[in-house]
Structure 1
């Protein structure tokens, strides 16, 4: 295992053009010196960032013998904040999967051969973005491992996000979250307003993901406060080759609540599919 002090790259920035306005993306390489190793690309949750992943991506990359790439999406971390007048559309996850992620790969000069060996590892909204990317670009990845993804909206999802808003506005949660974002309101309300948009109740990508061809591992905890196992079962129904892992005593963040089980599952899954 590499010394973390030498494995973790400094945080870097790259500008993406072509959208409504240019955005600066913060990103970080892990195990950058392993130039011939496949890339494990990490897609954070709806309130996440590079910093909020903490040490887990490095731990997993060391175990997988991969290079790692982590980044904060626009509106999060130290990336360009969402403008206060901008409301993210119902399709905001599609925008991230179809436009922002490919633009980032282009900007970082990750070529077609490297993308074909690339593994996507996503949590929550990041898991959904991984699914949407894999369905739109079915040959531009090696496979994906996702945790607590959403493919449609359940009543408990809306209830959980409404509760999060109340917690954000009435407790010290905003102050704690501010540690991980330059503009914490940009991060929180971008995510929260989008999910609580009444039009989002009809959002459903179960038919869209049927085009996924690459290996797919989906992980969720039985105690997830934002979704039921209907999410994983619907993914399996849409993509028959999906491998499911359902964890006891685990809430919405399996990599924190059940790190050993998650690391074991992802490691075994990728080893089985890496030729």
Structure 2
């Protein structure tokens, strides 16, 4: 188990050594576990985790997946079901290492899909709710075209910029980009996991998201058995916590407080 008081360190999950950091009080309520996007990392959350801990009063935990940030390298190429493998093979270890009695999984892009898949595929009563920023549950042509454009411009300059946040930027980029551009990925669809959700969700989507549309949100909202709140933001592209940080902080705070109030009101043993 990690030493929360240390504030940061390295731990093993899914057989890989990963970097982590935490903020706030682990015992204040459910810990918010941040799952980064396809080119994200622990460092690329910047000051958002600290602001999230302050806004919610809860503990916040973030880490870099294998091949990201300063975490251990993993195998390439990524398999088409790499997000499912993260959800079922890595996240259980992560939550065990945190040592929290309850969690809210909060993911961005790939991380949102991983959070959704964990909640839909793994029975874990520690999971009280999920927050999904710019999730994807199936491919869209406009998103695939944007990923192809990114692959076409990747070069030394972009690698150098990414090198500030990833120890092997080319491996990080190629792993994500080449998985999505695999011809077989056009048929990728994990929407069936929505049918198995049994915890509330908050879905946050920018109207100007260049990788996905409101179709992703509508699929989750209409198919989920559990309650789904939707926050659709104007003047917001693929990273709501960057483009509209205060709106995201306010929404997550309200969502978390409502979860805790509901749980406190439940009869003991229910």
What is the TM-score of this pair, normalised by structure 1?
Answer: 0.88
Structure 1 outlier segments of 4+, above 6 Å:
none
Distance 1:66 1:193, change over 3 A: same
- Aligned pairs (5 A) from 1:1-275: 9-16=6-13, 22-31=15-24, 33-83=25-75, 86-106=76-96, 108=97, 110=99, 114=101, 117-138=102-123, 139-169=125-155, 172-240=157-225, 241-275=227-261
Please say if residues 212 and 239 of structure 1, whose CA atoms lie closer than 8 Å, have aligned partners that are also in contact.
Answer: yes
1:271 is displaced (CA, Å) by 1.3
* CA displacement 1:115-135 (0-9 Å, x = unmatched): xx2111110000000000000
**Separation of aligned partners in 2, 1:9 and 1:89:** 34
- How many residue pairs are counted as aligned between the two chains? 256
Superposition deviation, residue 10 in structure 1: 4.2
- Range 124-133 or range 186-195, more displaced: 186-195
Unaligned runs of 5+ residues in structure 2 are 262-270
Give SS of 2:127's match. coil
Q: What is the aligned-residue RMSD (CA, Å)?
A: 1.8
- Asked if structure 2 preserves the Cα contact closer than 8 Å seen for 1:82 and 1:186, the reply is no
User: TM-score normalised to the size of structure 2?
Assistant: 0.90
Once the two structures are superposed, residues 150-187 of structure 1 have per-residue CA deviations (whole angstroms, 9 ceiling, x without a partner) of 00000011101111112222x72221111000111121
Aligned counterparts of 2:54 and 2:203: Cα–Cα separation in 1: 21
1:34 deviates by: 4.5
Contact 1:82–1:187 (CA under 8 A) maintained in structure 2: no
Distance 1:71 1:236, change over 3 A: same
- Structure 1: where are the runs of 5+ without partners? 1-6
How far off its partner does 1:9 sit? Answer: 4.8
Contact kept? 1:9, 1:30, Cα under 8 Å: no
Distance in 1 (alpha carbons) for counterparts of 2:37 and 2:221? 21
